Amino acid sequence: MAGSSALSYSSYRTYLECPLRWKYLYVERRPETPRGYFTFGRVVHSVLEEVVRPLVVPTARRRDGGESQTTLRDWTEPVDGVTPPGGRPPMGAEELLALYDRLWTNEGYASPDEEARYRALGRDLLLRYRDHLEVDPPSPVAVEEHLETRWDGIPVHGYVDRIDRTPGGGLEVVDYKTSRELSAEDAQSSDQLSVYQVLVEQNYRAPVERLTLLHLRSLTPLRTPARGPRVLEPLHQRMGEVADGIREEAFEPTPGPQCSRCDFRSICPEFRPMPEAEGPRLAALVDRFDALRADERRLERELARTAAELHRAAEELGLHRVPGSRSVALRRREVAWQYPLDVVRPMLERSGGAGRPAADSAEDVRRLLRDPTLPSELRRKVAETGSRQVRWYWELEDGGQDGR
């Protein structure tokens, strides 16, 4: 795979947004302009890693050779007077702030005032989180864990903020968020949490029970159950398409709202300035194209009006063939059936049709109505839900009054 041996969630999202930007970042390794909110999130995550690390009690990891890491039962008593991980108190407030100050960087902030606001926010956020740990400490088995796997053929990797042991003995994937607002819907729809679930499931023996976005500003854990295969499959399909695009070096730009914040506008073909010498020639071509497009729209409207008028006249006279001076217009009919799938599916399910092909389209329903194994009464009821749509259109063949 070009530029990277495995997809992270970030690189996957970058390619979806713009394949050319992915190439600039992951193949050509071009740097981006630092931004304050990214710097802030990175520093806060680094401090949280050190604050929570003393609470970590490692659990079993999958190993090719059958080996495993230390399990929770192994951490019961101090060894040689040393308190094992999972038994230490949280980092003190003064130590935490000293660590925060050491890790702080002013990279990417638009002004000293913006930096000061973020820095104060970080202090408040971290101190409140530390107090929360004293009252309700988690049971982490890993922090900032780098995991890799092959998800049904797709190489995937990522850094998981935290993996906790649940009361039921399973695992909880926790992702810190410093954003201003966050909702339960964000957790339920997060592809990032889905990718992390796959990474944890394929690297740890215990099952993933739940996924959590931890909103640090409000200290609110937004939890959702682990995804099932049907939820994960569309994401796997999209990631496979991204992997295919990267392998085939499909790096065309995808212009959109994201372009306003892209650092590569000056080299992107979407925004490359036109050579001055070519200006008049290309401008004339654009004007010609614009005029032809206007003619095309006008002709399409005129064609639709003429076809409708011809249809009305042929309908009144009962004609299906109308000769002109050069061609013969043939009136054709296209018939389509529509079925309310939200009504048809329950009817089939109540009849015990779970083993039959799914009714996902009108054509599926038509095939089922031709299925002799379907009870005749059910076929009749399903057929009665349908509506017949007729569309008339015209075709031309050579001939006409002069060429008969």
Helix (H), strand (E), coil (C) string for 68-117? CCCCHHHCCCCECCECCCCCCCCCCHHHHHHHHHHHCCCCCCCCHHHHHH
126-157 pLDDT, tens digit each: 999 999 998 889 999 999 999 999 999 999 99
Lowest mean pLDDT among 350-354, 365-369, 381-385: 350-354
DSSP bridge pairs for 398? 327
DSSP 26: I
3-state secondary structure of 270: coil
Helix axes 229-247, 191-201, angle to 10 degrees: 100
In the chain, the percentage of residues whose pLDDT exceeds 70 is 89
378 burial via Cβ count (<10 Å: 0-12, 13-18, 19+): middle
What's the rounded mean pLDDT across residues 18-34? 95
Specify the pairing of strand 327-338 against strand 387-398: antiparallel
Q: Is the pLDDT of residue 88 over 90?
A: no
CA distance 105 to 100: 10
Q: What's the pLDDT score for residue 376?
A: 86
287-321 pLDDT, tens digit each: 999 999 999 999 999 999 999 999 999 999 999 99
C-alpha pair distances (Å), 175 with each of 178, 232, 256: 10, 18, 28
CA distance 32 to 108: 10
Q: What's the pLDDT score for residue 401?
A: 62
**Residue 306 neighbours by CB under 8 Å, 6+ apart:** none
Give the N- to C-terminal CA distance of the chain in Å, as an integer: 63
223-234 pLDDT, tens digit each: 999 999 999 999
Token code pair at residue 10: 């970030």
* Alpha helix stretches (DSSP H) within 274-386: 279-317, 341-350, 362-369, 376-384
CA distance 28 to 14: 14
What domains can be seen in the chain, in order of their start residue? 9-247 (3.90.320), 307-403 (no CATH)
Token code pair at residue 30: 């071009």
Residue that wins the pLDDT comparison between 216 and 64:
216
**Residue 232 neighbours by CB under 8 Å, 6+ apart:** 194, 197, 198
Q: Find out whether 219 and 181 touch, Cβ atoms under 8 Å.
A: no
